[in-house]
Structures are given as C-alpha cells and as structure tokens.
C-alpha cells in the first residue's frame, strides 16, 4: 500500500456554534494536540494546533450571525492531525476538498455537509472518477413532484369536454368536422401523455 506523503485541505468550510467550537477544540486536546487560541478584538479567533512532533496548523474562525466560520486551507504531513481534521469535517458537517498526496498519484476527496460525495484519482494529470454519490431517492422524489404532465392532462381533458359540449349543440357539418379533427389531435396528445 502506498504511503501518504501529505494531506492538503483546500477550500475547507466549517460553521460551528459556540458549543460546537468547544467540542472541536476538545477533540484535538483529547489526542494530545496543544492548542493556542488568540481572540481578536472583533470576536474572531485564530487557533494554532500543534502536535508533539511540532507540526502546526493555524485556523481562523470568523464570527458571523452567531456562528464561528472557518474557511481556508492547510497542508499536513502528520497522520494524527490529518485524521482529526477529517473527523472534524465529518462530525461538524463541513465542506472541503481534500488532496491525499502519494508519491505516484493524488486522491481528491470532495466533502459536502460532512459526507464524501466524490473521489477522484489524479495521476500524470489524468483524472479518474473513483466514486460519486448519486441521490437516486432525491431524484425520484423530484420526478414524482413534477406535476407539469398532470396539469397538461387536466387542461386537455377540460378542453375535450368543452369541445364535446360544443359539438353537441352545433348543427353545421363543417364546424362539426373541424371540432372532430381537433378532438382527434387532443386525444392523440392525451394518449401520449398518459402512456
């Protein structure tokens, strides 16, 4: 198995409440990662995480609408910090693009709301799709909720009923033939929609 050289978090976005911020910090502290928090005058926070090997990551949290939002990127060669970041993105429903860099290739993971939605392998500038999440149930629900065909069927049926009523009161043969022709067109369309 190839050894990972580094993990790069690109376009990472976490939105945390104050309680979640505490849990986020605690997750790192529980794994013997030292953290230094610098509170800025506007309430924003800059946090430096340092493992026992001396590797650091710095994350900035901006206070927005009662949440702390962390956006940015970092590159990690330490497996512990990389795994903690992966766990944090997953647990706190974050979004990120994560490059797991190996000597011969890079695996690119796309996270949305804490879930991996796509994995690509990049090797010699060729991109190979490994996995992609497909929301089949959601697509079926969307299809089910599309009511355009049902509305068109209702409109055609109303139009047919109106033409049949009109045909019954018309005595002129030419007008009745025109109504019949239109009824045939509508019936064919109705048959196609209901099929």
Per-residue confidence (pLDDT) for residue 145, from 0 to 100: 67
Report d(CA 33, CA 174) in Å as an integer. Answer: 90
CB atoms within 10 A of CB 104: 7
Q: Which tens digits make up the pLDDT trace of 82-126? A: 899 999 999 999 999 999 999 999 999 999 999 999 999 999 989
**In angstroms, what CA-CA distances link 143 with 39, 76, 140, 147, 148?**
49, 43, 5, 9, 10
Per-residue confidence (pLDDT) for residue 93, from 0 to 100: 95
Q: Which tens digits make up the pLDDT trace of 142-151? A: 777 677 778 8
Per-residue confidence (pLDDT) for residue 140, from 0 to 100: 78
Cα-flanking dihedrals φ and ψ of residue 96, to 5°? -165, 160
Count CA within 13 A, CB hemisphere, residue 104: 3
CATH 1.10.760.10 is the classification of domain 4-133: no
| Average pLDDT of the chain to the nearest whole number | 88
pLDDT band at 193 (very low <50, low <70, confident <90, very high): confident
Report d(CA 13, CA 71) in Å as an integer. Answer: 5
Which pair of structure tokens corresponds to residue 127? Answer: 């991109």
Contact predicate 37/47, CB 8 Å: yes
Per-residue confidence (pLDDT) for residue 1, from 0 to 100: 59
Report d(CA 33, CA 133) in Å as an integer. Answer: 33
CB atoms within 10 A of CB 49: 22
What percent of the chain stands above pLDDT 70?
Answer: 97
DSSP-derived 3-state class of residue 84: helix
Contact predicate 121/130, CB 8 Å: yes
């Amino acid at each position: 198995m190839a050894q990972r050289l580094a993990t790069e978090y690109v376009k990472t976005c976490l939105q945390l409440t104050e309680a979640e911020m505490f849990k986020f910090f605690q997750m790192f502290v529980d794994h013997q990662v030292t953290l230094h928090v610098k509170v800025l005058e506007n309430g924003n926070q800059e946090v430096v995480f340092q493992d026992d090997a001396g590797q650091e990551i710095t994350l900035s949290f901006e206070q927005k609408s009662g949440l702390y939002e962390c956006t940015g990127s970092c590159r990690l060669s330490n497996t512990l910090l990389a795994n903690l970041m992966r766990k944090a993105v997953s647990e706190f429903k974050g979004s990120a693009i994560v490059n797991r860099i190996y000597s011969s290739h890079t695996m690119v993971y796309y996270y949305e709301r804490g879930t991996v939605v796509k994995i690509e392998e990049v090797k010699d500038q060729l991109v190979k799709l490994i996995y992609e999440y497909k929301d089949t149930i959601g697509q079926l629900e969307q299809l089910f909720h599309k009511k355009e065909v049902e509305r068109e069927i209702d409109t055609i049926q109303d139009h047919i009923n109106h033409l049949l009523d009109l045909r019954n009161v018309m005595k002129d043969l030419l007008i009745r033939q025109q109504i019949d022709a239109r009824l045939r067109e509508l019936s064919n369309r109705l048959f196609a929609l209901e099929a």
